[in-house]
Amino acid sequence: MSVQEFEIKFDNPTRVYYGGQQVSGSATLITTKEKKIRGICLRVKGAADVHWTESRSVTDSDGKSGTETDHYSAHELYAHMQIWLVGSPSGEMMLPPGKYTYPFSYTLPHNIPSSFEGINGHVRYTVKVEVVRPWRFDYESKAAFTVLTPLDLNLEPGMQEPVQKTQEKYLCCCCCRSGPVSLVCSVHRGFVPGQKIEAIVECDNVTTEEVSVNCYLEKVVTFKSSCGSTNRSQNTVAMERLGVVKANSSNAWRTKLTVPVLPPSYLKYCNYIDITYLLWVKGVITGFHNSVNLRTEVIIGTIPLRNYFQSIFSSVPEVPSGSASPQGEESPPSFESAVVAPSAPPMEPGSPYTDLPPPTYEECSLIKGNIRDKEDNEHTYGAMDFAPRYPMYNFR
């Protein structure tokens, strides 16, 4: 192969950025043979794409039955740049064998949605470098990065006040009515990944059956098409078994359900994907009875409530005052800075919370996307699997 290496590297090793920050890095190309090219083109793209299909039964004029598939889709562009690092789309030049490094930078727009990968759609940001050749296939290298839009729980209404929900169910068997089974859940509504959802759950069982009580955190994603149709996906992202309540008995628990690495609620600034989180408490009743369920919407943010700041461990190693960093490097910048270093993950530019220990940024393991699309050819270099990174806090 005449192309030995074609790789995109970001100056920020975490590949996590906020709106308004500069995405910078370089593309390295190593060739072993001379190449005739038109030029080398850099593309930065950020967009939401939604697509799903639905089948329906149809009958034709002859009375024959069959199925048809309807396609629903939407597209929304947030970031776009195309520049020619070398050459032009209409010219020709010879590229001698050797190693070439092309730096790039792009300032993200403000007010753009967080990266997201879902079953029927995504919000995805990529950098792509193409070696454009006349009458031959192009060489391409592609890489994805994460964009985060802050969701500050301190600015959301009602986050400090607990919400209480109650649900009850009467059992009917052989025309006899017994019960009820009652569930009560009291919980605050705002959390961040790494934090425990400490809800108080009570179950009062005035029946002759046993009730198993469990707690679930569910992610609900609503996809919207450009014509207004919707499609919803739901999956459990965390679960805790609380216990069993015997017949004619009661019990209470304080849940310790830890929020995993998750995208923030709402997916702000995206018009075609919406994210909601529900805390379910389910009482499964023995015998042939339906369960009793209650749910409460909770908000998953990127910045925790201020009264939890002191319970978060710092993920940034401290450098003693007045001492030099290893190998004579400068001290890591504070998390208020737009400059990113491996030991100082980025925070929202201009964040007022100087007393908030910065989080780590971890991949969401629930679902990965494949960044290859119809515009990419089979000669595209780079890792195609991608999982966005989201803030993860280390609570005591």
Percent helix, strand, coil in the chain, to 5, is 5, 55, 40
Q: Which long-range contacts (CB under 8 A, 24 or more apart) does 81-85 make?
A: 81/42, 81/43, 81/44, 81/106, 82/41, 82/42, 82/43, 82/44, 83/41, 83/42, 84/39, 84/40, 84/41, 84/42, 85/27, 85/39, 85/40, 85/41, 85/42, 85/129
Phi, psi of 387 (to 5 degrees): -125, 125
| Torsion angle of the four alpha carbons 390, 217, 54, 387, in this order, in degrees rounded to the nearest 10 | 20
pLDDT at 323: 41
What is the residue-level pLDDT of the chain in tens, covering all 396 positions? 588 899 999 999 999 999 999 999 999 999 999 888 999 999 999 999 999 999 988 887 777 888 889 999 999 999 999 999 998 888 889 999 999 999 999 999 999 999 999 999 999 999 999 999 888 888 899 999 999 999 999 999 989 888 999 999 887 655 566 679 999 999 999 999 999 999 999 999 999 899 999 999 999 999 999 999 999 999 999 999 999 999 999 999 999 999 999 999 999 999 999 999 999 999 999 888 889 999 999 999 999 999 999 999 876 544 444 444 444 433 333 333 333 333 344 566 677 888 898 899 999 988 889 999 888 888 788 889 999 999 999 998
How far is Cα 253 from Cα 248, in angstroms, rounded to an integer?
17
Domains in the chain with CATH codes? 3-150+339-395 (2.60.40.640), 155-301 (2.60.40.640)
Residue 151 DSSP one-character state: -
> How many C-beta neighbours within 10 Å does residue 293 have?
14
Contact yes or no for 219/273 (Cβ under 8 A): no
How far is Cα 154 from Cα 137, in angstroms, rounded to an integer?
52
Q: How many CA atoms lie within 13 A of 51 on its CB side?
A: 4
Burial 41-76 (b: 16+ CB within 10 A, else e): bbbbbbbbbbebeeeeeeeeeeeeeeeeeeebbbeb
First to last CA, the chain: 53
Cβ burial, residue 24 (10 Å; 0-12/13-18/19+): middle
How far is Cα 128 from Cα 82, in angstroms, rounded to an integer?
10
- Entry pTM: 0.87
DSSP labels, 191-215: E-TT-EE--EEEEEE-SSS-EEEEE
pLDDT at 374: 86
Which pair of tokens denotes residue 26?
A: 């370089």
Contact yes or no for 371/384 (Cβ under 8 A): yes
